Structure 1
Amino acid sequence: MWHRAFVVGGGAALPWRSLARRSLSSGSSGAVDSIILRSLKEHYLEVSKMTPPPKVNPPSPYTIVKAALDKDGPVLRRSYKDEEITISVMRLANIMPAGAEGDDGDDSINQLFLHVDVSKPEREDSLHFLCGLYPDAVGIHSVCLRPKVAASSGSVSLSKYQGRVFQELEQKMRDAFHIYIEARGVNESLFPFLQAWLYVKDHRNLMHWFKRVGTFINEHKPA
């Protein structure tokens, strides 16, 4: 994955780290800046040469939300009768801290988390699903009513009752909710597009990060 391109394995301190600290502590801040800038440039050039995954279109009738790559929020949108369905996505690796149980290579690549919002024009709230998406299946982790994404200030009141834990609902109701989202096109057919989309977004974010950090360090204070 993009975000693992330059991760150094293992949690133990490496010998060269302490040597580098002692060596650089006696040097000028300009020398330290030069080392960081040179490393940032090398990594930027290396990442820029990575081959992107083949282009994949979202399954019809979903369409890509305009400028989704440049901001956080919904990636896909579609209409279903009088409803609007929006889907946001993230990886397991972006939720679980490094080294946490379950954060192993294949699982973190092949498990995505979806935020699915089902909204109606006359309603101030939307039905929100948190789902796990795999190459061959989709499962619901939770379902609740919450303020519409567009109308919400970004903070949802935690005091408002969010319903029962999904796994505590009776099986017939859980099955019905799965049929509900499947009827709206939330199924494993979304996986190829969303996985490819995340690779592209991770690549763009990493490239932008190298540039922003380099610009910050290279910016000289006025005399």
Structure 2
Amino acid sequence: MASLIGRGFQRASISWQLGTLVAKTAFFRNRTFASQPQSLTKSPFDSNILRILRNEIEYQYEYAPPHQPDTKFNSFTVEERRGEQVVTIKGRFGECEDIKIEATMFDGCEHVPACGDDSSGMNLRLHLSLIVDISKGEGGTELEFVCSAWPDSLNVEKVYVLRPGRMPARPYIGPHFRGLNAKVQEKFYEYLDARGVNNELAVFLHEYMMNKDRIELLQWMDSLKSFVER
């Protein structure tokens, strides 16, 4: 997994270069005089972009092909929206609680020492942000948890109590979660764990987002290729 992540970040610059090349192509096309006939063949510049794009798409499919994502995890259902950086996950607890989770794609990382044969190097540990809303009936008070999801763990950062109706201009949103008494923190983690918001969910989301990242990248490159081919 770590090598896959590292390889993906190494190839991010290729995507940036491709975007720059396509932008330049569009600029020069727009400056073509109306009296000049349109060439029926691609210019060397366009042909070079297409060659790079086709090679990159082929490589991505061979290196780590995406798969059809699971839309169910335990009691949760994933609402996938292609082309967006956020997915929504919904579930219920008991007879009256609705749970809604909004998860970002990878929005940060940290470097950690590599293990095993590559112990002298560093690996990337990717991060997701979650907003977990728990409500009891429409129009009632909600609890909102702001969480960090790492590849194998879920950490709570903040807890809000959201009330319906007009909110004060500068509402008091509570202390930083890690500043709370350790026993209070523990009880909140137990509260979330009972509702399936736990380390297992973090593992699922990282696998899901890794696959989504591949799907979105390939769709983006295919859109670039279609533009240049026209």
Q: Is the 8 A contact 1:3 1:206 kept in 2?
A: no
Larger Rg over CA atoms:
2
Is residue 227 of structure 2 the alignment partner of residue 216 of structure 1?
Answer: yes
**Which residue is 2:40 aligned to?**
none
May I ask how many residue pairs the two structures share in their alignment? 189
Root-mean-square deviation over aligned CA pairs: 3.7
Is residue 115 of structure 2 the alignment partner of residue 88 of structure 1?
Answer: no
Query: Gapped runs of 5+ residues in structure 1?
Result: 10-16, 18-23, 97-101, 149-155
Structure 2: how far apart are the matches of 1:158 and 1:208? 42
Q: Which amino acid aligns with 1:64?
A: V
Structure 1: how far apart are the matches of 2:169 and 2:209? 29
Structure 1: how far apart are the matches of 2:216 and 2:168? 30
**Which residue is 2:116 aligned to?**
none
Structure 2: how far apart are the matches of 1:51 and 1:130? 32
* Matched ranges for 1:2-151 at <5 A: 3-4=8-9, 6-7=11-12, 30-49=43-62, 50-52=64-66, 58-65=72-79, 67-69=80-82, 71-81=84-94, 82-90=96-104, 93-95=106-108, 102-103=110-111, 106-109=123-126, 111-123=127-139, 126-134=142-150, 136-146=152-162
Structure 2: how far apart are the matches of 1:80 and 1:120? 10
Change (3 A) 1:136 1:211: closer
Say which structure, 1 or 2, has more relative contact order (CA 8 Å, 6+ apart): 1
**Which residue is 1:99 aligned to?**
none
**With structure 2 as the length reference, what TM-score do the two structures score?**
0.64
Q: Is the 8 A contact 1:125 1:145 kept in 2?
A: yes
**Which residue is 2:217 aligned to?**
206
Identity of aligned pairs, percent? 23
Query: Gapped runs of 5+ residues in structure 2?
Result: 18-23, 30-42, 113-121
**With structure 1 as the length reference, what TM-score do the two structures score?**
0.65
Give the C-alpha shift of residue 212 in structure 1: 2.0
Structure 2: how far apart are the matches of 1:147 and 1:32? 58
